[in-house]
Structures are given as structure tokens and as C-alpha cells.
Amino acid sequence: MAKTDATAESNGAGESVLGYEQARDELIDVVRRLEAGGTTLEESLALWERGEELSKVCRHWLEGARARLDAALAESGGGEGTG
């Protein structure tokens, strides 16, 4: 399965890797908590750092999806610049 392959390659640090939807949902929760306020400076910094990590996970998944789409388009001859 391609999702499993992408998950395995995105993990270089030996920690469990989140899928795109998991990371996105957790990132949404982090942003909501930061926007709501009421946390200490230390808690806010920890949330910010977690948000940065989750953003990187999401970006990795999206870049991987883009690469797969580009490869599929190139294989089918439907890539840009063919006109």
C-alpha cells in the first residue's frame, strides 16, 4: 500500500509517524488552543513547537502527494508543457 510506504519513508527519527489527517486534525486543535488563550507561556511555547512539528508532517505528506501526481502525469504523457 502506498500510504504505508510513504509513512515509512517519512520517519527518520524512529518515532511513530502520523498520517496526514491525524497531523492536520491535531494541528487544528493546537491552533484552537493557542487562539483561545488561557495557557501559560510555557504551555503556549510547547503548543507552538508541536504545531511546527505537525506542520512539517503535513507539508511532507502534501509534497509526497504532489510528487506522485507529477509522476503519474508524466507516465500518462499528460504533464505540463506538452503543447
pTM of the model: 0.69
pLDDT reported for residue 8: 39
Question: What number of H helices and E strands is found in the chain?
Answer: 3, 0
Which CATH architecture best describes the domain 19-76?
Orthogonal Bundle (1.10)
2-40 pLDDT per residue, tens = 443 444 344 444 356 899 999 999 999 999 999 999 999
CA distances from 70 to 40, 56, 81 (A): 44, 21, 12
Cell, residue 19 = 498520517
